[in-house]
Amino acid sequence: MATTAEFRNGMVIELDGQLYGITYFQHVKPGKGGAFVRTRLKNVLTGAVLERTFRAGERVEEVRLEMRPVQYVYRDRPLYYFMDQETFELIPLHHDVIGDDQLKYLRENLECQGLVRDGHVIAVELPNFVALRVVETEPGVRGDTAQGGSKPAKLETGAVVQVPLFVGEGDIIRVDTRQDRYLERVAR
């Protein structure tokens, strides 16, 4: 058990049977009334964000999660199978646990981090940056814009991101998976 005085960013707590990571907290001591802690919590499994206020000194259940390297192997709808890099066992995870925002960047043999609780992988986090091949985009025409311009590009996993006009089909680009944003061209 932990008190609100021990809150820190990244700490994982259990509320109502769900796991939440603390992304923001603020101790507030108003002039009138008791002190309290305002928090922003992110559900570890679904990614849903929740704002909650705790009384000062309130106790919550702290959960220790371990990170373990896992590798995506294959999909058998609706399950996605990952191989634990330490024990080499296959771990099936339902697509709802992984989330649509991560699934659009998931490709075979991608190395990820598995969140482990009580010896079982309960969730997967993709790397912040992945290199993917552009499979479909319109040709960029010089002189169309005064600044630089961008165009949509479909990647090998099905995700669509905005890329500069000079990026063409077959190019490999690096994408920030947290912001769905093009970073750089890796290879032609």
Q: What would the pLDDT profile of 123-142 be if each residue is shown by its tens digit?
A: 888 898 999 999 999 887 66
Residues 77 and 121 in one domain: yes
- One domain for residues 110 and 70: yes
Which pTM value belongs to this model? 0.72
pLDDT at 145: 56
Shared-domain flag, residues 84 and 115: yes
The span from the first CA to the last CA of the chain, in angstroms, equals 53
Interval 39-47 mean pLDDT: 84
Residues 20 and 50 both lie in one domain: yes
Q: Are 110 and 136 contained in the same domain?
A: no
Domain boundary among 63, 90, 105: 63
For residues 8-18, give the mean pLDDT: 88
Residue 147 has pLDDT above 70, yes or no: no
Number of structural domains in the chain: 3
3-state secondary structure of 63: strand
Q: Both 102 and 148 in a single domain?
A: no
- The predicted pLDDT at position 154 comes to 93
Out of 109, 125, 141, pick the residue that ends a domain: 125
Whether 28 shows a pLDDT value over 80: the answer reads: yes
- H-helix or E-strand spanning residue 76: strand 66-76
Q: What is the pLDDT of residue 39?
A: 93
As a whole number, mean pLDDT of residues 164-178 equals 90
| Residue percentage of the chain with pLDDT more than 70 | 95
pLDDT at 103 over 90: no
Whichever domain contains 78, its CATH number is 2.40.50.140
pLDDT of 21 reads 87
Do 117 and 158 fall into the same domain? no
Quote the CA–CA distance of 182 and 122 in Å, as a whole number: 29
Element (H, E) at 39: strand 36-43
Tokens of 145: 């814009």
- Residue 144: pLDDT band (50, 70, 90) is low
Query: Which residue pairs from 175-182 have beta carbons closer than 8 angstroms and sit at least 24 positions apart in sequence?
Result: 175/105, 175/129, 175/130, 175/131, 175/132, 176/128, 176/129, 177/102, 177/105, 177/126, 177/127, 177/128, 177/129, 177/130, 178/128, 180/101, 182/150, 182/153
Inform me whether the pLDDT recorded for 72 exceeds 90: yes
Structural domain boundaries enclosing 158: 130-187
Helices (H) and strands (E) in the chain, counts: 2, 16
pLDDT at 135: 93
